[in-house]
Structure 1
Amino acid sequence: MQAIIVCTSVSHGNTKRIADLMGNVLDARVVSPDRIDATDLAGYDLVGFGSGIFLGSFHAQLREFVEALPQEQRGKAFIFATSGFPEARFQRFSRPMAELLGQKGFEVTGTFSCRAFDTYAPFKLVGGIRKDRPNGADLAAARAFAERLRTQVVA
């Protein structure tokens, strides 16, 4: 199985930690959107897309990268995110990204998110929230998610 992870991690390195852990499990290279050409994705069986969540959305750099992809038949993809708050049932931040990837020809096989240290806007005034995240349990959950993906794609 050939896998790659496209990741935008800009604030505290939380998303990169998750991406690197998943990359180790999947034997996948982790790259930022500005370090890979969209045509290079064609050679992969599994592509991960992840970033921190900003005002309920994936980072603009990652969204713009996916929006610029040509529509064609592609392999499997997964989505992951780190956020100060959990994904709301009534407004899931992963849903728009999953729909966009589907439009680009990917089959989205799973999504993962975990809490992470957040110092956005008002939280900066109090030193941030979720200072201890991602923690050991979050990392274990990310590892288990990646192991399930590896099993699904190889099968």
Structure 2
Amino acid sequence: MRKAIVYALVHHGNTDKIVKSIAEECQVDLIDAVKQSDADLRSYDMIGFASGIYFSKFHQSILKFAEKNLSDDKKVFLICTYGGSANYRSIEQILDKKHASVVGKFGCKGYDTFGPFKLVGGIAKGHPDDKDIQNAVEFVKDL
């Protein structure tokens, strides 16, 4: 089964730690949604979308990528890092339009210094940690 993860790396490298560890231990192609905005996903059996959560949404580059490049009726899994809480609604709205089947979701805390969190040095310091990363790898292996 051919798998890919479409990801966006923006602030603290939280998502980067997760997807690179997954790629090292699983047979997964990584696609940067910013650098490869026109990637063809048709040959993949399962596609992951990975992002930090920004204003309760997946990063805008991931949402645009999915809207533009995801073909109908694909199996999809979701990965997010967050300071506050996991929120998949923004990407799920696009996936519903594409008749995608969500086969799993994984989320974990990620270091966050947005807005007022910056004043206190950020929240979720040290995350994702080794346990979070291993849980993400196991999540993908189990799909």
Deviating beyond 6 angstroms after TM superposition, the runs of 4 or more aligned structure 1 residues are: none
Within 5 Å, give how 1:3-152 maps onto structure 2.
3-36=3-36, 38=38, 40-69=40-69, 72-87=71-86, 93-149=87-143
Q: Is the 8 A contact 2:58 2:90 kept in 1?
A: no
Aligned length: 143
**How many angstroms does 1:128 deviate by?**
0.9
Question: Residues of 1 paired with 2:65 and 2:99: CA distance?
Answer: 14
Structure 1: tracts of 5 or more residues without a match: 88-92, 150-155
Unaligned runs of 5+ in 2: none
8 Å CA contact 1:4, 1:44 repeated in 2: yes
In 2, Cα distance between equivalents of 1:13 and 1:39: 22
1:85 partner amino acid:
G
Rounded Cα–Cα distance in structure 1 between residues aligned with 2:122 and 2:32: 25
TM-score (structure 2 length as normaliser): 0.89
Q: TM-score when scaled to structure 1?
A: 0.83
Shift of 1:61: 1.1
| Deviation string, structure 1 residues 132-153 (Cα, Å, up to 9, x no partner) | 111122112112211111xxxx
For residues 73 and 10 of structure 1, the distance between their equivalents in structure 2, rounded to whole angstroms, comes to 28
Q: Is the 8 A contact 2:63 2:90 kept in 1?
A: no
1:25·1:146 contact (CA, 8 Å) conserved in 2?
no
SS in 2 for 1:98: helix
Decide whether the 8 Å contact of 1:82 with 1:115 is kept in 2: yes
- Give identity over the alignment, percent: 34
Residue 39 (structure 1) shift: 5.8
Distance (whole Å) between structure 1 residues aligned to residue 48 and residue 38 of structure 2: 13
| Aligned-partner Cα distance in 2 for 1:57–1:132 | 22
- Deviations 1:89-115 (Å, cap 9, x if unpaired)? xxxx21331231132232111111000
